Amino acid sequence: MVRDNAAPDPSTHDRYRAVTRTNIDRCSQWQRLDPELREAVMTVSAVLPFRTNAYVMDELIDWDRVPDDPMFRLTFPMAAMLEEHDYQRVRDLIRAGAEKGEIESAANTIRAKLNPHPAGQMSHNVPHVDGEPIPGMQHKYRETVLFFPSHGQTCHAYCTFCFRWAQFIGDDDLKFANKEAGQLRRYLEQHPEVTDVLFTGGDPMIMKAKVFETYIDEVLRVESVRTVRIGTKSVAYWPQRFVTDADARDMLRIFERVTESGKHLALMGHYNHAVELSTEISREAVRRIRATGANIRMQSPLIRHINDSADAWADLWVTGTQLGCVPYYMFVERDTGAKSYFELPLAECWEIFQAAYQRLPGTARTVRGPSMSCFPGKCHVLGVSEVAGEKAFVLEFLQARDPSLVRRPFFAKFDPTASWYDELEPLSASDEPFFIRPEVPTTPLTVRDGHDLVAN
Ligand code: SF4
């Protein structure tokens, strides 16, 4: 049954209010930022999309810690996210009062350098129904289809590290939108090997319940689908979605319909930091979602300046487990957008993962990582070791286009600076089959949903 009780008192934050470049100066917190920081926000947000909301501003950011506060870094653009000369160019245009078109043109030039659309997503994974491509869908692994509903291509706030930013700046060619829920059903019916459907975005929970239901209705008609996954950051950025939004109960009833149909419903909750689970409303959202029979699995990339410590991860996983969520994945930040600002070398990612994992109780050791969603699959860094006297990364695929590669340990030459799969070299000839490059060398692609990201 959908819970009616225990709703937090309605507060001023119950109505969603987006905070963007155009209205940030009307927020009381804006004046707390020093002028240099304000200029940086206005400059970088002319290039990268910026959106946060009143709940994040009022409840999650600790303004006494700004600019180092993790939630501030997660949603506010910073000068170092752009190359210095790019930053100066846009800043100088703004200072000089340049025309909007001139600023936009400079911004487009910079965006083009930031690898906004890791391309294999477009070319390698698009499925077909009756000979027609379905651009709102990806089928990379045998048992899982990713679906990008056209109505779910935005988010309650934008993460500064997110490679999906290209979708938010109005470039239609980059959208995977597909509103044809019927096409999804037909594809699933023609592919009974698909047991899992992952709704992703953007954020599918941005949709009204009645819109989301049109997609779910079609999926529920397909018997071979056993698990419905929803990749969402709403549990962190806007937990009101499940508590006080006008159609919160309708959404929870849809969840119940899925679980009552005998299918498993998994919310792939994108939690970057334990502070996102510190508010009463975020915990109430977890309780209500779980009361529908759905599970919440927690996943996040490891991001410099935001969660780059073992303490942060252990805290997140222990807190989540206490609330009944399942720690699932730690991802490696990928090669797009402001990667150089956020990335960490793989060796460091592994050290942080290991140190956090060692502090967990067994119930929280469900988590895997650090994992790269790269072209051939999900590449898991198992550790650093020595093989025949040579230092090496020990790796495995948790998921792969070629299922025969899964869970077979292999080795790469140790490189303390490597931060992604395609920077690694096989340790020996026997490791070479595991180093698969995309056919188009300029498209170092991956399939991830918007939150990783994700568990495909
Ligand atoms: S990580 Fe998820 S919530 Fe954040 S901007 Fe990307 S798609 Fe949106």
Which residues are within 8 A (CB) of 37 and not within 5 positions of it... i.e. 6 or more apart? Answer: 66, 67
Q: Is residue 160 classed exposed, middle or buried when 0-12, 13-18 and 19+ CB atoms within 10 A define those classes?
A: buried
In whole angstroms, give the CA distance from residue 205 to residue 361: 31
In whole angstroms, give the CA distance from residue 393 to residue 415: 8
In whole angstroms, give the CA distance from residue 117 to residue 136: 15
In whole angstroms, give the CA distance from residue 46 to residue 107: 7
Q: Quote the ligand 1 centre to 7 CA distance (angstroms).
A: 27
Instruction: Find the helix packing angle between 280-291 and 248-260, rounded to 10°.
Output: 30
For ligand 1, pick from 233, 298, 329 the residue to mutate: most ligand atoms within 8 Å of CB.
233
Other residues' Cβ atoms within 10 Å of the Cβ of residue 403? 13
Q: How many residues does the chain have?
A: 456
pLDDT of residue 336: 61
pLDDT of residue 128: 86
pLDDT of residue 167: 63
pLDDT of residue 156: 96
Q: Is the CB of 454 under 6 A from ligand 1?
A: no
55, HSE (Cβ side, Cα atoms, 13 Å): 26
Other residues' Cβ atoms within 10 Å of the Cβ of residue 165? 22
pLDDT of residue 37: 97
What are the start-end ranges of the E strands in 90-195? 128-129, 132-133, 137-141, 144-147
What are the start-end ranges of the E strands in 186-341? 196-199, 227-232, 264-270, 295-302, 326-332
The amino acid at 80: A
Q: Relative to the CA of 154, which ligand 1 atom is closest?
A: 8
Which residues are within 8 A (CB) of 296 and not within 5 positions of it... i.e. 6 or more apart? Answer: 235, 266, 267, 269, 286, 289, 290, 320, 324, 325, 326
Q: Is the CB of 89 under 6 A from ligand 1?
A: no
Closest CA to 187 of 122, 133, 261: 133
pLDDT of residue 129: 85
For ligand 1, pick from 164, 230, 449 the residue to mutate: most ligand atoms within 8 Å of CB.
164
Q: Is the CB of 233 under 6 A from ligand 1?
A: yes
CB 81 within 8 Å of CB 341: yes
Classify 293 in phi/psi space as left (phi over 0), alpha (psi -120 to 50) or beta: left
In whole angstroms, give the CA distance from residue 280 to residue 286: 10
Torsion angle in degrees (nearest 10) through CA of 23, 49, 164, 154: 20
pLDDT of residue 25: 96
| Predicted structure pTM score | 0.90
**Nearest CA residue ID for atom 4, ligand 1:** 159
pLDDT of residue 455: 34
pLDDT of residue 58: 97
Q: Which two tokens stand for residue 440?
A: 């188009």
**Nearest CA residue ID for atom 7, ligand 1:** 450
List pLDDT tens digits, range 290-330: 999 999 999 999 999 999 999 999 999 999 999 999 999 99
Q: Relative to the CA of 158, which ligand 1 atom is closest?
A: 5
List pLDDT tens digits, range 140-152: 889 999 998 888 8
In whole angstroms, give the CA distance from residue 329 to residue 276: 17
CA 48 to chain centre: 17
Q: Is the CB of 427 under 6 A from ligand 1?
A: no
In whole angstroms, give the CA distance from residue 88 to residue 138: 39
Intervals of the chain under pLDDT 50: 5-6, 9-10, 12-13, 119-120, 171-178, 440-456
Which residues are within 8 A (CB) of 35 and not within 5 positions of it... i.e. 6 or more apart? Answer: none
Other residues' Cβ atoms within 10 Å of the Cβ of residue 177? 18
SS3 191: coil
pLDDT of residue 395: 98
